[in-house]
């Protein structure tokens, strides 16, 4: 029997042998595994400890504006430790390093790896080029054919299943721009999970995630293209909050503006009038003018259709140039404020549902304009950001948006 205490945790297991020599060998192997794990774990904790030390020092020397930014990152460190630990592979390590670099850059600190991680002479080995394999959509066709041949999909149900599986796969490919399944990362799966939670409600996010995960599991089992499934590593949506979120009405928003902190009120107004996805203003937004109309431009959205330009409602044109990220740091800060509204379950994404409802009741707002404002895909159309036609489209969007009620 093997037993060992690590901190406050006691590890105990049967070695399934009565031979003392075999027991000693097995115990030694477990010790080696645990020591290696603890070294890596200690390294991860040191990275966060060093980052916090740097942030605390920078906070003391910063002005009030910079302190607001640094303080937000300090508050997020404990949550970040849970997100990025443990580091299981090179992709996790890259994500952790990118996170640390991003925090340092936001806080005005120097970015770079410690000298102990690599010597100046060390050069990264060139990755071998991947030999061509079928793209993900072709593999999906093979997946469907296999399901029919093995009798798991029968008759009319086979056609229906193919349609039901194709829709979430199409959303995944559009989001990640992934063609080669060997290049899929855990971050792709995480982004897809977040996208589903924002775009859909009830059981749909879990169903869509599981259908794409089933394709990757089939590829792992039936083809020699991948060694593991990133979907299985990330895990499903069984423990996530997926109940329907109520759309935010005009009256709801007025109540919210009365109870949230004053510095956040303008940001909530921006969400109310633009239908932004919850993370869009924290990713890549800029302010532009089109034919004299003050607009918010999103250039790095989760989908191609999400890259759009939204005219500002006349009542919030004064917000033109607002640095959203400097005020709120991230969407979780704003979602935390929305918990003060206790009448029903709402989050930032509820504002997006709300503007869709409000635009539907405006008589001169066809689906095309509503989709252009909210960033939903439109069949057979493209949004080219130049020319008189596009400027006229912005003008029509402005007239529609200005008909929304003033807060």
What are the tens digits of pLDDT across the range 121-148? 445 555 556 678 999 999 999 999 999 9
pLDDT at 112: 62
265 and 392 together in one domain:
yes
Q: pLDDT tens across 2-15, in order? A: 787 655 566 777 88
Name the domain count of the chain. Answer: 3
Tell whether the model's pLDDT for residue 216 goes beyond 50.
yes
254 and 385 together in one domain:
yes
Rounded Cα gap, residues 366 and 400, in angstroms: 10
Domain boundary among 207, 234, 261: 234
- Whether 115 is in a domain gets the answer no
189 and 307 together in one domain:
no
375 and 262 together in one domain:
yes
Alpha carbon distances (Å) from 358 to 234, 271, 277, 307, 384? 37, 13, 16, 22, 26
Instruction: Count CB-CB contacts under 10 A for residue 397.
Output: 22
144 and 187 together in one domain:
yes
- Whether 126 is in a domain gets the answer no
pTM of the predicted structure, to 2 decimals: 0.47
267 and 391 together in one domain:
yes
Q: Could you tell me the CATH number of the domain that includes residue 366?
A: 1.10.443.10
CB distance 236 to 206 below 8 Å: yes
Q: Helix, strand or coil for residue 17?
A: coil
Tell whether the model's pLDDT for residue 90 goes beyond 70.
no
DSSP state of 142: H
Q: pLDDT tens across 32-83, in order? A: 666 555 554 545 556 777 888 888 888 888 887 778 788 878 877 766 766 6
Tell whether the model's pLDDT for residue 230 goes beyond 80.
yes
Supply the range of the domain harboring residue 338.
250-401
75 and 195 together in one domain:
no
Q: pLDDT tens across 323-349, in order? A: 888 888 888 788 888 888 888 878 888
Position of tokens 């500002």? 312
294 and 163 together in one domain:
no
pLDDT at 265: 92
- Whether 118 is in a domain gets the answer no
CB distance 192 to 209 below 8 Å: yes
Position of tokens 């970040």? 80
pLDDT at 254: 93
Alpha carbon distances (Å) from 400 to 42, 254, 274, 376? 56, 21, 12, 17
User: Dihedral of CA 201/205/207/211: which sign?
Assistant: positive
Q: pLDDT tens across 263-307, in order? A: 999 999 999 999 888 888 887 889 999 989 999 998 876 667 778
- Whether 304 is in a domain gets the answer yes
198 and 271 together in one domain:
no
Are β-strands 285-290 and 293-298 bridged in parallel, bridged antiparallel, or unpaired? antiparallel
- Whether 245 is in a domain gets the answer no
278 and 396 together in one domain:
yes
């Amino acid at each position: 029997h093997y037993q060992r205490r690590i901190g406050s945790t006691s590890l105990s297991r049967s070695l399934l042998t009565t031979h003392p020599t075999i027991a000693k060998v097995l115990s030694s192997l477990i010790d080696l595994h645990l020591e290696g794990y603890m070294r890596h774990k200690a390294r991860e904790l040191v990275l966060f400890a060093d980052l916090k030390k740097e942030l605390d020092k920078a906070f003391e020397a910063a002005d009030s504006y910079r302190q607001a930014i640094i303080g937000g990152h300090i508050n997020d460190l404990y949550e970040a430790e849970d997100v990025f630990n443990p580091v299981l592979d090179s992709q996790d390590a890259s994500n952790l390093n990118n996170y640390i670099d991003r925090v340092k850059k936001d806080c005005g600190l120097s970015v770079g790896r410690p000298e102990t991680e690599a010597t100046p002479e060390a050069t990264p080995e060139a990755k071998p080029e991947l030999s061509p394999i079928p793209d993900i959509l072709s593999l999906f066709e093979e997946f469907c054919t296999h399901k029919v041949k093995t009798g798991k999909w029968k008759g009319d149900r086979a056609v229906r299943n193919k349609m039901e599986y194709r829709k979430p796969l199409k959303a995944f490919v559009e989001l990640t721009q992934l063609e080669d399944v060997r290049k899929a990362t855990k971050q792709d799966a995480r982004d897809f999970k977040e996208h589903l939670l924002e775009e859909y409600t009830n059981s749909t996010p879990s169903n869509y995630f599981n259908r794409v995960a089933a394709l990757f599991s089939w590829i792992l089992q039936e083809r020699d293209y991948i060694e593991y499934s990133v979907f299985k590593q990330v895990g499903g949506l069984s423990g996530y909050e997926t109940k329907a979120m109520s759309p935010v009405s005009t009256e709801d928003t007025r109540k919210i503006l009365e109870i949230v902190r004053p510095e956040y009120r303008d940001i909530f107004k921006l969400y109310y009038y633009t239908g932004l996805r919850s993370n869009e203003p924290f990713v890549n937004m800029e302010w532009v003018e089109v034919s004299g109309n003050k607009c918010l431009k999103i250039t790095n959205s989760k989908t191609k259709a999400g890259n759009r330009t939204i005219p500002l409602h006349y009542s919030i044109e004064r917000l033109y140039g607002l640095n959203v990220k400097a005020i709120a740091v991230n969407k979780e800060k704003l979602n935390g404020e929305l918990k003060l509204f206790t009448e029903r379950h709402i989050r930032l994404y509820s504002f997006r549902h709300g503007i869709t409802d409000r635009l539907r009741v405006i008589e001169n707002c066809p689906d095309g304009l509503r989709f252009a404002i909210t960033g939903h895909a439109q069949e057979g159309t493209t949004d080219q950001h130049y020319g008189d036609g596009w400027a006229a489209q912005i003008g029509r969007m402005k007239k529609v948006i200005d008909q929304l009620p003033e807060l």
